[in-house]
Structure 1
Amino acid sequence: MKLTKPTHRLLLFVSIVFFSLLMQSCMENDTKETPAAVTTEVEVEKKQDKPEYFLLRPEVEKAYGYSHAVKIGNEIKISGAVSMDDAGNPTAVGDMAQQMKNCYADIEKILKHFNCTFDDVVVENIYTTNMASLLESAAYRNEIYKNHYPTATWVGVTELALPQFMIEIELEVYKAD
C-alpha cells in the first residue's frame, strides 16, 4: 500500500502530536510529589495554622466573651486594649495620656508573650471618645514606635465599652520566622 502525500502528512502530524503529549506527560510525572509527601506537607501546614489564643485577664475576658489575642501562623490579632485593672475596672479615668500609656503597657505584655516587639506591629487602629485629647497625647507613640510606624487609623466614636474609657487600641502583628 502506497501512502499519498496528504495521508503521509496526516500520519506525520498525528505522530508528532502523540509524541509531544507523551513527552509532556513524562515531564509532569517527574515533577509531581508522591501522595505521601503532599499529605505530610498539608498536615504540617494545618498544624502551623492552628490558632493560639491568649488571655491577658482570663476572668475579665471570659466575662465579656473575647480573647485578647489570637495568633495564626505569622500573624497576631490583638483585641482593643483599654485602661483597666486586673478586675476589669477602668483606670486613669479622665486622663487620656495615662489611659494611652496603660493601653500600650498591656499591649507590650501581649507582644512579649508572643516574642514580639512594637517593631513587629503592622496595623494600629485607635478608637477614641475625645480626638482632641488623643492628638494632644499622640506624641507618646514616639516612645513606642522607635524604628517605624505601622499603618494606622484613628476613629472618633461616641462611646467605648464603658463610659470611663477614652481610648481603645487594637493591633495586627506580623512576626517573620
Structure 2
Amino acid sequence: METLTKPETEKQAINPWQWQDQLGFAQAIKVKNYQETLFCAGQTAMSPEGKPIGEGDMRAQIGYALDNLETVLAQAAYSLSDVVRLNYYTTDVDLFFQHYDVVLNRLAESGSKVSSTLLGVSRLAFPQLLIEIEATAVK
C-alpha cells in the first residue's frame, strides 16, 4: 500500500509596496496546500476566571491578549506561526501604536507573517479592556 503525503503548507506574503514592512504585516498572505482553518474569537486581557486584567495598561493588555490567543491556538493544536490574519480592535489607536513592539516581537519570535486590520472602536465588551485581537490560522 502506497502512503500519500500531504505537501507542506506554503505561505507567501503579497506586498506591492514596502511601507508595511516596518509595521510588521503583509498586504495579503497567499496560502497553498492547507487542510484546515481555525477562526479564533477576539482575545482580550481576561483572566482564566473571565475577569478583565491590566486595567489602564495597554502594554500589559496586549501581552495578555496574545497569551490568551496562544492558549486558544495551542488547545486546537496550532501555534502563532500558523496565524495568517490578525485583526486588532482598540479603544485608543495612538496608545496601541506606542506599545506595538509587543506585537512585533511576538510575531518575530514565532516567525509569523500576517495580514491585519486595525480598527479604533468606542469600547469593547468590558469597559476596562483596551485591545481585542482576532486571528485566523491555517494548517
Q: Same fold (TM over 0.5)?
A: yes
Aligned residues: 103
Distance of 2:102 and 2:46 partners within structure 1:
19
1:168 aligned partner, one-letter code: E
> Of the two structures, which has the highest relative contact order with CA contacts closer than 8 Å and spacing of 6 or more?
2
Q: 1:86 aligns with which of 36, 41, 48?
A: 48
Q: 1:137 aligns with which of 69, 78, 99?
A: 99
Distance of 1:87 and 1:116 partners within structure 2:
23
Tell me, what secondary structure is at the counterpart of 1:90?
A: coil
Q: Name whichever structure is richer in strand by fraction.
A: 2
In the alignment, does 2:55 pair up with 1:97?
Answer: no
Larger radius of gyration between Structure 1 and Structure 2 = 1
Which residue of structure 2 lines up, in the alignment, with residue 151 of structure 1?
115
2:114 aligned partner, one-letter code: P
Q: Deviations over 1:120-166 (max 9, x none)?
A: 10110000001011001111112221224210000000010011000
Structure 2 gaps of 5+ residues are 1-34
Percent identity over paired residues: 28
Distance of 1:150 and 1:160 partners within structure 2:
23
Could you say what the CA RMSD is over the residues aligned between the two structures, in angstroms? 1.1
Which residue of structure 1 lines up, in the alignment, with residue 16 of structure 2?
none
Moved over 4 A (4+): none
